[in-house]
Structure 1
Amino acid sequence: MSTLLVTGGAGFIGSSFVRYAIEHTTHNIVVLDKLTYASDKASLDGLPSERVELVVGDISDASLVDELTAKADAVVHYAAETHNDNSLLDPSPFLETNLVGTFTLLEAARRHRTRFHHISTDEVYGDLELDDPAKFTAETPYNPSSPYSATKAGSDLLVRAWVRSFGLEATISNCSNNYGPRQHVEKFIPRQITNVIDRVRPRLYGKGENVRDWIHADDHSAAVLAILERGRTGETYLIGADGEKNNLEVIQTILREMGESADAYDHVKDRPGHDLRYAIDSSKLRDELGWTPQFTDFTAGLRDTITWYRENEQWWRGQKADAEAKYSASGH
């Protein structure tokens, strides 16, 4: 049995990992989370208190991070500011959390010689043309297009530098877009689901041609666990489930699964610098570590996600008004 320090473990993909690790391993987990608007301690409800501890704090707090890292066998670093729209309105929190916070964690891991795994995004690679047959690989040059993706790219480079300069035992994973239960309603899929529940027409950026490579959060968690256990130091692994869908297809699928007409949505002005297409080549992860996704039917996974939001309104209702007010202020 070992102890994992999971930063951002009360957020969407962080809490998904905590739940997955509790179910599939004997690890004890300490969650370090600032409990900003995008995280919720309710996402950890029902987990055994003897194995999961929540510490409310900031990853930029060097003394707290050092204290927790000293007691951990590994750090799994999910904590980040992640919402592109927010980064366009105010980039400063993204610099503080994604760069300074990652630096603080890396220094603690270096001092205590602690295994470190860094969670990143495919957005660091920029985007692909809609008709380009290529996919992102670990060798794809970085080309971030927003303050969010730029700060995540910067944090990746910090990890790589700490491996090379200081011999830190670290790995990186860059994942495609996640979906599933407990995702904040500001994000694309839960926003559309909760809008339909509230009898509000979903809103689609531009023509809806932008393509994302969707993966269920549980598949992401399984991949991270495989990398943590068997990944090679200094390596970057891309996590994807061959789930390319354009935004129009996703909205139409949500509407059909919720008993609405597939054209019951409205177009809104496109986001500035909106990336065209993401696509992940996860063959390295599959070949080296034997990982394969289990949620291969996107419609079925989306149906289960819709059911969760229908049945857990108390979890997301408090987020909804603030999220929609932010979108309204930006004309979306």
Structure 2
Amino acid sequence: MLLAQRPIPIPSPTSFPFSPLSTVLPSTVPENAPEHCPGVESSDAGKADACEGCPNQAVCAEGPKGPDPDIPLIRERIKSVKRKVLVLSGKGGVGKSTFTAGLSWALAADEECQTGIMDVDICGPSIPLLMGLSNSTIHTSSSGWSPAYALDNLAVMSIGFLLPSSSDAVIWRGPKKNGLIKQFLKDVEWGDLDYLIVDTPPGTSDEHLSIVQYLKEAGIDGAILVTTPQEVALQDVRKEIDFCRKVGIPILGLVENMSGFVCPKCNGESEIFAPTTGGAEAMGEELGIEVLGKVPLDPRIGMTGDRGVSFLEEYPDSPATTAYLDIVQRVRELLGDA
């Protein structure tokens, strides 16, 4: 039960109170990684050739060495979270956050399934809008931050709740981004969750490395990689696959989003993004990764996202809804929960 709830003071994007010493960069690096940050635990931190030009070089060189003392606190805070799943995409604009929202709505459709979304897309938080929580604020108590709730069994945390308006830009370097992600894990009162879905930004940068570092003891159960059928998106997903394999994140599978267009009147399908190289299916066969499903492009997905309501509930007969439900079922099977 929350005590003495009150709104959290809204931070300025240039003055968020994080200590740079504990949030500079991940403490471990994958084996055989070319020219990579040595990590803050290393005696070479701030001194290696790879550190030249890094804005954190001086902090790393002077900062304390050794394991991050907050890692055990994070493990303790989220020990009641059963499954941690990352949603990744190499390229922006493939509908990753929209897929995260749809996946979470589908999981939470089971009233017995406690679901959470952690939005770590610090510079482009879209989850509050997609979940109908644009006007929500975060409260704090003696036990930590309380997330916002889209449903009684669907908790959401995003930097979008901390900004004065949705048009405010977050202009942060890595240390502040990493510090906020750490707070989302260490200070948020997630409670008992069956699934924590982590929505990440495109690429393989600060936010991704922070998640790997901070959850290294609690464990990441797997990643879902979202792509569209055309080769320009598949190229970037290959980089995301390489990232997952280097840092040891299990890949649950691929989702081909916007896989054809569905007419909302006749349910007829046509190609919008032509899979010139075979799409996700061909890449999955090449790299030995399962395609969890293909979500067709239904214009009503965007409409319900703008309204912050569940597409699956509004349009249960759409082929896209069927695709979402099939993907959820397969993810549960892969995690041993079906």
TM range (shorter): 0.3 to 0.5
Q: TM-score, normalised by structure 1?
A: 0.39
The TM-score normalised by the length of structure 2 is: 0.39
Q: By percentage of residues, which structure has more helix? A: 1
RCO greater where, 1 or 2, for CA within 8 Å and sep 6 or more? 2
Q: Considering only CA atoms, is the larger Rg found in Structure 1 or Structure 2?
A: 2
